[in-house]
Amino acid sequence: MYYKAILSSTRPVQTALLAGTEAQLIGSLPNRVADPPASDTALRFFAYSGLLLNLGATLSTILLLIAVASLPTTARQIYVSCPHSYPRKVFHGHASHVSELNKRLIEGQGETYILRAFGIARGWSFMLPPHATIVEKKGAYT
């Protein structure tokens, strides 16, 4: 687990370094001539598109780290504010909820369900599949 955390926290640094290297390479290109050859146009196109893609990868990785880092705090707030919340039922070991969670994990839907039940940041819910919705039924999240 610790190994995965280290790898995920170095990813923004890696993409930022790649973007910086590409920016320096773009800066070392010669000035454009009046009628550039096709190879010069292709080189500039791929250089600038690579720079933009790496900057986008850096930004999205940082935003994802922020969203995942806020998850424990959000789950704690849900646990404290609602006595029927899913985090509270899982923490206290309600057998029906734990077995349901295990069943969902085996079916391949558990990760999305956990993220939504424990309060993934609002902006990231669009990335989760739509089939794992939390429905309040009889005062409990199921």
The pLDDT, as a whole number, for residue 49 is 93
The pLDDT, as a whole number, for residue 8 is 57
The pLDDT, as a whole number, for residue 2 is 43
Residue 54 makes CB contacts below 8 A (sequence gap 6+) with 15, 16, 18, 19, 22
Both tokens of 111, joined, read: 């990760």
**Average pLDDT score over residue span 48-72:** 86
Per the CB < 8 A criterion, the answer to whether 26 and 46 are in contact is no
pLDDT tens, residue by residue, 84-105:
787 887 777 777 777 877 787 7
The pLDDT, as a whole number, for residue 122 is 64
The pLDDT, as a whole number, for residue 45 is 93
Quick one: pLDDT band at residue 20, thresholds 50, 70, 90?
confident
How crowded is residue 8: how many other Cβ atoms within 10 Å of its Cβ? Answer: 13
